[in-house]
A and B are shown apart, each in its own frame.
Chain A
Amino acid sequence: MRVDPADSLSEILPAEAFGHSVPASLSAALRTDVESVVAPGSPEEVAALLRWASKTAVGVVPVGTGAHTYPRYPSDPFVVLTTSRLTEIGHYEPADLTLTASAGARVGDLSTAMAVHGQWLPFDPPDVPNRTLGGLVAAGLSGPLWAGYGQLRNHVLGATVVCGDGRVLKLGGRVVKNVAGFDILKPMVGSRGDLAVITSLTVRLFPLPAVDRLLIVEASDISELVSTARAIATAPVMPASIVLSSTSVGGRLLVRLHGVSDSVGADQRRLEEHTSVSFDIRNVYELGDLLEGERDRDITGEFAVRLWALPSRIDELLVAVGQIPGVNLTADVYGGSVRVYLPDNLSDIKSVLMRLREDVENLGGTIRALRVPAEVDAFSYFTKPLVDERELATGLKQVFDPHGVLWRVE
């Protein structure tokens, strides 16, 4: 059952909060028809909504744009809360390299504002410009660039969050080093809305590199590129990212080098010596389309999963994936994770997933659903948290969302 928000909430939220369009992919992710979303315009309105939900035992599903919500089952009844009206860029002090913005601000819009000052947020998960800052942080996504810059979690300096019961917490701050108190901000990153609704964030920015060079190697089969990719990942040079991807005609290895022109040139020469490979070279600032195409590939496909294993076992992961007919993939070679895009018309989906899970877990790795067709249960085929971790996570869920208004911890 869904609650008609305009009926029940018109007393606590203004008219602007209602009548917003529902993102197309949201119903598929939530495995039920979503007819309306509520868009609060301030942290106070978010808090009012959550207090109401706690009192009336209605679930709240927080989303950013709603385009990248992971497949899950909301409790029944529920309302969808979008941060689409929380878009303000707050405090931006370029000389401090820090920026505070509301959770619904689009990363692409923030990038435009930052680029004026030669700065950026160095994260490149699929579709990053269209994601909201809150969605990016709630999903904990860094993209392959984390190799050179560290994970997103390390660059979130502060946040305002509204807990499941409507408590507003101001966590962290806007300085780059801060150890005042227990770091309850960290578990908010990657919490996917389990604990609280993030309403604003302060992040650390980086100077845009003077040179952003892309080194490319192509081969008729991705397996021919794996050893080169791993050699680069263990070379005494730190690339900004190392990505391996399958194409219709074979495989492609993309290595990004950031720095000034002297250092990037020297890094390239060292990598060439180290791997005995000569690269095709592009300047990302002039020719970024290829990179964006790789980053955003298959974002609308119906069926995608993400695998992880020790980086040194990425070849084995690729072998396991290679057994599935018609798959495409993008691998973050430094981090040991692979996005697998499965064909929509795959026959015998469940046994394919079952075998993949077994292979991946035998390697000590994990598998998670990004988008799965309706007939695939969102949990059965995917790696469960370790028992100990689950127990602690359940305890934390109690702290931040005592009435279980937000998602259940799975």
Chain B
Amino acid sequence: MTRPLPSAVVSDLSEIVGRRHVITDPDRLLVYESDGLTAYRIPPRAVVLPASTEEISAVVEVLHRKGVAVIPRGAGTGLSGGALSTPGGVIVGMARMNRILTIDPENRIARAQPGVINAHLTEATSPYGLYYPPDPSSQSACTLGGNVAENSGGPHCLKYGVTARYVTGLTVVLAGGRVMQLGGVGRDPYTTLDLVGLFVGSEGCFGIATEIEIRLLPITEGVRTLLGIFESVESAGRAVTKIIASGLMPAAVEIVDGPTIQAVEASVFAAGYPLEAGAALVIEFDGTEAGLDLDADRAEGYCLEEGAIEVQRATDPEHRTKLWRARKKAFGAMGRIAPDLLVQDATVPRTKLPEVLAGIDDIGSRYGLKIANVFHAGDGNLHPNILFDRQNQKELELVERASKEIMQLCVDAGGTITGEHGVGLDKREYMTLVYGPAELQAMAAAKQVFDPDSLFNPGKVLPEVEGAELGVAMKASTVS
């Protein structure tokens, strides 16, 4: 049972943000006890919802003075348990930090608060002919702050790169409530070390991003979307390798495998894919209208060479939405065929996709688990989704063992344990698959530079070493 916050602390926080925005009622706290990774649940002691950098700074000051850990939280769509509380921790939510502060079309930058929903930024900048490229599949719900913390990707990051490429400056609140400015367009990016680059991807463990300066790109003139249907995921994987190696620069290359197609077709999201298909490959080209058909012709040729049963091409928005449907609705559809879904995330060199996918299939059969793959194939970023029932303790254990084997398989193929969802709570123990003690120690020491007492999101990302938190002791709350 989580201890409630002492009333003096509650009243200090209420003075800063208003009593309405300090949530302590256990029923209302339930919403915050997990994130997109539903396997874990830890209720926070309280949730505070500030509305400005100043308020965040003051809130952090109060909590850190009492030695209470702060867990930043965006929309809670994270899939690695990053926004989960620690016992004794208080969640600082970004729900009221939802304003776009400036849009500067001349310099193609925007400044926004971290609670702004990813898709809202592009909605706001499109009248200027500009957009924000990173497009996580959760973009209608997840926040820019969460994207910064996870260095999120998305289908179109194949051509355009992930969040880090677009974050040019940050206002951050660090330990004790200290406000700092990092980077910013218009200054030499290397007047000092790349602190913005280091903060991006720090999973809420360094501090809270309270304002984000973001680079925008001009909206592209045209789009071509192809949907290739294949007999097997291996042949779809080979088509991907061929397309990438040929010198084409698709904006997105995504694969949906047979089990996923079956789940989608059985759901309200049915997209009309053939049920017997082993895989569907979505390929998109964007850019200057002239030339797109040529690219699409070449990609179509490679798909057919690798045995595609059929290839459809969309030029209008409606048809494009239809071709994307199975990809976009995959997670939702899977939710309907199993009570629980573990969305795994790992990256392998693109050329290793066929052998790794075969290996994952084998792991699924050995454990008797249903695994459906939906993934960013162009980047080699896999999402093996394990379907299970959390109430079945035995199955839960099998899921954990299968997950670990999948991670090992990806690492052995020259890959890594997460491509975009982060380490969070879920993958801490896998960190030793990719890093040795020296690297982990250096990461712990880098965190300490920003957060010396480990009061931001403790217990995440870095593994426990011989029972102790790496580098820094996890401080027990001093509030009695």
Contacts and interface: CB of A to CB of B under 8 A. Distances in A.
B239 to A, nearest CB: 13
B327 interface: no
Nearest to A390: B192
Contacts of A178: 347, 416, 418-419
B288 A308 contact: no
B27 interface: no
With most chain A CB atoms within 10 A of its CB, the pick from B105, B200, B217, B415 is B415
Interface string A148-186: 001101100000000100011111011111111111101
Interface stretch (B85-93, B364-372, B443-451): B443-451
A81 B207 CA distance: 37
Contacts of B415: 173, 175
Contacts of B447: 182
Interface in B191-208: 191-195, 197-198, 200-203, 205-206
A253 interface: no
B165 A182 contact: no
B434 A187 contact: no
Nearest to B129: A236
Nearest to A175: B347
Contact of B438 (A168, A189, A262): A168
Contact of A183 (B189, B201, B288, B379): B201
B400 to A, nearest CB: 19
A139 B190 CA distance: 8
B348 A175 contact: yes
A192 interface: yes
Interface stretch (B51-59, B177-185, B257-265, B299-307): B177-185
Interface string B232-272: 00000000010011111100000000000000000000000
B418 A180 contact: yes
Nearest to B350: A96
B349 A174 contact: yes
A365 B184 CA distance: 10
Given A179-B422, A180-B431, A187 B107 contact: no
Chain B contact residues (Cβ within 8 angstroms of A): what range? 35 or more
Contacts of A395: 449-450
Interface stretch (B149-157, B311-319, B330-338): B149-157
Contacts of B108: 234
B449 A399 contact: yes
Given A177-B420, A181-B439, A265 B290 contact: yes
B8 interface: no
A260 B434 contact: no
A97 interface: yes
Given A180-B435, A236-B218, A262 B294 contact: yes
A310 B422 contact: no
A312 interface: yes
Contact of B198 (A98, A150, A168, A182): A182
A311 interface: yes
A176 B347 contact: yes
Contacts of A194: 193
Contact of B150 (A93, A179, A186, A389): A179
A118 interface: yes
Contact of A97 (B153, B183, B244, B440): B244
A154 B164 contact: yes
A145 to B, nearest CB: 14
Interface in A384-401: 384-386, 388-390, 392-393, 395-396, 398-400
B465 to A, nearest CB: 14
Contacts of A326: none
A270 B106 CA distance: 18
Nearest to A307: B188
B16 to A, nearest CB: 23
A266 B287 CA distance: 11
With most chain B CB atoms within 10 A of its CB, the pick from A93, A180, A183, A208 is A180
Nearest to A366: B188
Nearest to B109: A310
With most chain A CB atoms within 10 A of its CB, the pick from B200, B201, B440 is B201
A181 B461 contact: yes
Contacts of A393: 192-193, 195
Contacts of A366: 187-188, 191
Contact of B188 (A119, A207, A235, A306): A306
Interface string A259-291: 111111111001000000000000000000000
B423 A259 contact: no
A41 interface: no
B248 A186 contact: no
Nearest to A186: B197
B241 A95 contact: yes
Given A176-B380, A266-B290, A392 B195 contact: yes
A111 interface: no
Contacts of B439: 169-171, 181, 184
With most chain A CB atoms within 10 A of its CB, the pick from B129, B150, B245, B249 is B245
A186 B198 contact: yes
A238 B289 contact: no
Interface string A75-102: 0000000000000000001111110000
B358 to A, nearest CB: 18
Interface in B100-124: 104-108
B351 interface: yes
8 contacts: A176-B350, A182-B203, A190-B190, A191-B193, A234-B105, A237-B218, A262-B294, A395-B449
Given A175-B379, A179-B418, A260-B294, 10 more contacts: A94-B245, A95-B241, A170-B436, A173-B416, A189-B194, A236-B129, A236-B221, A365-B187, A366-B188, A396-B193
6 A-B pairs closest in CB distance: A186-B197, A263-B291, A207-B247, A395-B449, A385-B192, A266-B290
